[in-house]
Amino acid sequence: MGKIISICNQKGGVGKTTTCVNLSAALGILENKVLVIDTDPQANASVSFGFSSRRINNPALQFMDFVAVIKNNVIKTNSPNVDLLPFFEDLNFFKRTSEESKFKQALETISKLYDFIIIDCVPFFKTKNLDILISSDSVIIPVQCDYYALEGLHTFLKTIRYVQKNLNRNLEIEGFLLTMFDRRLNLSKQVVSYVRSYFKELVFNAVIHRNSKITQAPSFGKSIMEYDISSSGARYYLQLASEILVRNAKAEGLKEVSVIPEQKESIFNTRRFFKTLDPEERNNTLLEKFLKKSEANYENEKSPFIKNFDALIDLTKPYVEQIMGICYKNHFGNIWIYKINKSKIFKKKYLYIYFKDDIVSHYATKWFMN
């Protein structure tokens, strides 16, 4: 069963939609199947993925089978592994017909098809949001690092406690997420230290800094992962995603999860890879083994691009880093991802390198629509 996480805060403009879209895209990149549900009539999340709100073809459906309605109207986005249920003007999940909301029942069924369902909420606290909280396993609360950030937060928390006590005992706080942090502002730092001292381990380690690429991405109908995977904005959300994966894996007693710690360099580095093919670098003994193995393969190719990565097998992390470029270097992460080329017009190729005991055990290449 996938985990149902809603992104809520009674305030508008704190980064709910931005977090919904980019966290989902990051979870998708890290190989989780994600469904994004847009419940906001402004349809910002849908637009951020390049879609608008829709009218469903058969409104009568809404009185019958929500699961079918969701299944029939889910769209594949351009983000790897991310589906979207856009905002539907005429689909009312939220008319309560029985004690248990139909939304909740439908979500429980749909969650079997996904690893995560991420719900974008409307700002003002309406019955709709209450239904979403009742239907969720956990809630992420974005807190903008500014003066008014804390205003209303306590009231909102009271509501969450009320839901936990009376309506949904299983609702957890996944975490408070500090957004739009600006390291130049003292105020930003003060908000961070206040929120951390007050909510302690409930606050994510990952902090989303203010980043112009994050602002630009939606106008291209792309998540930050598609817009600029090497931006720091993408890195913040990859860090958040891996933190959530680690926390949830711990809760389930699982061991192997990829961690993306803070690091300046991009995880996606193609140029270095080409550089290693330069004959002048061949006397570099560290690269010798790699080039020898891949040479035959390389010479058969018209494009100067190695399609077979067998030479990576059994290499250690520093070795892979030498060849492929820096990849959010860390000693815990067991999956490293590189975006490797654009040789097909509408598709991007990703290389996943899997480590076992810090040695490459296998790899996979995947095409995703651009």
Kindly list the residues in this chain that would bind ligand ADP in the complex (CB under 6 A).
12-18, 44, 123, 179-180, 208, 210-211, 214-215
Is 231 a binding residue for Mg ion by CB under 5 A? The answer is no
Find which of ligand ADP, Mg ion, none residue 41 binds, CB within 5 to 8 Å per kind.
none
Cβ-based nearer residue to ligand ADP, 50 or 123: 123
Is 44 a binding residue for Mg ion by CB under 5 A? The answer is yes
Find which of ligand ADP, Mg ion, none residue 59 binds, CB within 5 to 8 Å per kind.
none
Is 39 a binding residue for Mg ion by CB under 5 A? The answer is no
Assign 3-class secondary structure to the chain: CCEEEEECCCCCCCCHHHHHHHHHHHHHHCCCCEEEEECCCCCHHHHHCCCCCECCCCHHHHHCCHHHHHHHHCEECCCCCEEEECCECCCCCCCCCCCCCHHHHHHHHHHHHCCEEEEECCCCCCHHHHHHHHHCCEEEEEEECCCCCCCCHHHHHHHHHHHHHHHCCCCEEEEEEEECECCCCHHHHHHHHHHHHHHHHHECCCCCECCHHHHHHHHHCCCHHHHCCCCHHHHHHHHHHHHHHHHHHHHCCCCCCCCCCCCCCCCCCCHHHHHCCCHHHHHCHHHHHHHHHHHHHHHHCCCCCCCCCHHHCCCEHHHHHHHHCCCCCCCCCCEEEEEEECCCCCEEEEEEEEEECCEEEEEEEEEEEC
The CB-of-163 to Mg ion minimum distance in angstroms stands at 20
Cβ-based nearer residue to ligand ADP, 71 or 209: 209
The CB-of-128 to ligand ADP minimum distance in angstroms stands at 15
Cβ-based nearer residue to ligand ADP, 180 or 267: 180
Find which of Mg ion, ligand ADP, none residue 311 binds, CB within 5 to 8 Å per kind.
none
Footprint of Mg ion on 8-37 (CB under 5 A): 16-17
Is 258 a binding residue for Mg ion by CB under 5 A? The answer is no
Cβ-based nearer residue to ligand ADP, 96 or 126: 126
Name the residue whose CB lies closest to Mg ion.
17
The CB-of-122 to Mg ion minimum distance in angstroms stands at 7
Cβ-based nearer residue to ligand ADP, 209 or 247: 209
Which positions touch Mg ion (CB under 5 A)?
A: 16-17, 44
